[in-house]
Structure 1
Amino acid sequence: MSFYISLSGLKASQTDLSTISNNVANVSSTAFKKSKAQFGDIFAAAPMQTTSQVAGQGVRVQGVAQQFTQGTLETTDKTLDLAITGEGYFTVKGEDGNISYTRNGAFAVDDDRYAVDTTGARIQVFAVDPTTGATTVDPTGATPADLTDLQIPNTFDGTATGAQLTSVGVDKKGMVSAVYADGSTVYLGQVAMASFNSQEGLRQEGDAHWTSTVASGSPILGTANQGMFGAVNSGMLERSNVDITDELVNLIAAQRNFQANSKAIEAANTLTTTIVNLRT
């Protein structure tokens, strides 16, 4: 039995090492959220058996949970680089039409003048009145179907003869505005923020993107700088929340745990060999 107990310990240590290695590998990934392996002991006994005389039967992996703590903010001075301070997520729509959620705010403008992230997904915004900035859709109770793509025209009226675009701004509330050469200001949309009842229930999609599941609950949409959605910071990006010092310490501990289980298997093997040799 000791062989199988130590074997479960080796497998658990291997999972722990893999999780820590993934954290270390993504220390420079924008908006990456570190993970932590969670373990539980295995114990089984007959209904009438005295449990004080029964040893455990090893360890098992209960799950690998992401830690959605705030990462530090890095200044980039690029207007469409957006960082969230809070628990909100940007809502983006991929080329296949699927909605996902991200905290990676490294947005840029594509050939069609749509604001897209590093995967080519378009950021979603609430439609607003171009002159007043008032939202035309009530954010309360809104769904992803109520959102629209953010497009930044090169000219004031979208024609070749219109006033040329001079600058774009994004405020703390996620309101995107464009200033044109003739001095006119046009509001283009307000960034749609999403939050979830259970962040741990989100499904990872890679590239710091997540999709909602039954466990996470349906997305709660709203605007930035309100409640749990957090504020939008233009000209900044959220760094990974991995602390390399903590991860290296955890790596040493996981390695020692692996070695200890290996020694336990070696000891069990030596004991078994000794018993077998008694007959010879």
Structure 2
Amino acid sequence: MSFYTSLNGLKNAQTDLGVISNNIANAETNGFKKSTVAFSDIVAGSAFTNPKLLIGIGATVEAINQNFKQGPVEQTGNALDLVVNGDGFFTTRSAITGDTLYTRNGAFEIDENGYLLRGGNRLQVFPTDPAGAVTGTALQSVQVPAVNAAGAQFAGVAVGKNGVITASYADGNNTAIGMVALATFISPGGLRQEGAANWSATGISGAATYGQPDEGFYGGITSGALERSNVDLSEEMVGLITAQRNFQANAKAIDTATQISQTIINLRT
């Protein structure tokens, strides 16, 4: 039994090493959220077993939990680099598949058609009137007009703390083109990681609840900055050393069990 118990420990230590390695690899990934492994013990017994004689047979991975603590903010000076100072997620939608994804990485840009996007996924906003007042709750992709009603050329874009996106034109006029829609979840730990600092909703996370920036726990918007990974390298290095020692200890236990078995075999011969 000791062989299988120690082998189980080796596999668990390997899982822990894999998760820590992924955290370290993404220490410089904007919007990345680190994960930790939770273990639980395994016992062998029945309802009729004396509780004082229950034997532990190792551990199992109970969950790999995501930590959504906000990461440090880095100033960039780019008007379309956005940070959510709260619990909200940016909502994006793929123009190809229509899939809705959520992210904390606010490194947006304007494509040739005037859409604000990140990684090919278009930023979703609440519609507004030219003054910035919300006119509806149905989300839509935000598109910057190349010219305004007077025929003036597009000159730049700005995003306020309240999430209102304002386009500026060569004639000096400004027009609101939407308000950033933020999403929150009753259980964000249940979000599915999709890569590229994107998440999708699941039955565990619950459906997204949308709200306006700078209201309640959604958080305000900071323009000209990006949220960095919340990975603490010092903490991860300590965890890496601990996981390595756990791996070595289980390997040593297997080696010891092998020596004991060999001794018993030698006695019989």
TM value normalised by structure 2: 0.97
Q: Counterpart of 1:176 in 2: which secondary structure?
A: strand
CA shift for structure 1 position 178: 1.4
Aligned equivalent of 1:69: 69
Alignment of structure 1 residues 1-280 onto 2, 5 Å: 1-95=1-95, 96-117=97-118, 119-130=119-130, 132-137=131-136, 142=137, 146-157=138-149, 162-280=151-269
One-letter amino acid matched to 1:23 = N
Q: Structure 1 CA distance, aligned partners of 2:243 and 2:213?
A: 40
Deviates more, 1:266-275 or 1:174-183: 174-183
Q: Structure 2 CA distance, aligned partners of 1:100 and 1:268?
A: 50
Deviates more, 1:223-232 or 1:162-171: 162-171
% same residue: 48
Q: Counterpart of 2:62 in 1: which secondary structure?
A: strand
Q: Counterpart of 1:179 in 2: which secondary structure?
A: strand
Q: Deviations over 1:23-80 (max 9, x none)?
A: 0000111100000011000012122211212320101011111111100001110000
Q: Is the Cα contact below 8 Å between 2:16 and 2:37 reproduced in 1?
A: yes
Q: Counterpart of 1:251 in 2: which secondary structure?
A: helix
CA shift for structure 1 position 214: 1.1
Q: Counterpart of 2:106 in 1: which secondary structure?
A: coil
Q: Structure 1 CA distance, aligned partners of 2:266 and 2:104?
A: 62
CA shift for structure 1 position 203: 1.0
CA shift for structure 1 position 257: 0.4
Structure 2 residue runs of 5 or longer lacking an equivalent are none
Count of residue correspondences = 268
Q: Structure 1 CA distance, aligned partners of 2:156 and 2:75?
A: 19
One-letter amino acid matched to 1:99 = T
Q: Deviations over 1:95-153 (max 9, x none)?
A: 21111111110000111110010x210000111001x211111xxxx4xxx11111112
Q: Structure 2 CA distance, aligned partners of 1:261 and 1:99?
A: 43
Q: Counterpart of 1:188 in 2: which secondary structure?
A: strand
Q: Structure 2 CA distance, aligned partners of 1:229 and 1:126?
A: 15
Q: Structure 1 CA distance, aligned partners of 2:38 and 2:154?
A: 52
TM value normalised by structure 1: 0.94
CA shift for structure 1 position 224: 0.4
Instruction: Give the superposed CA RMSD.
Output: 1.0
Deviates more, 1:247-256 or 1:94-103: 94-103
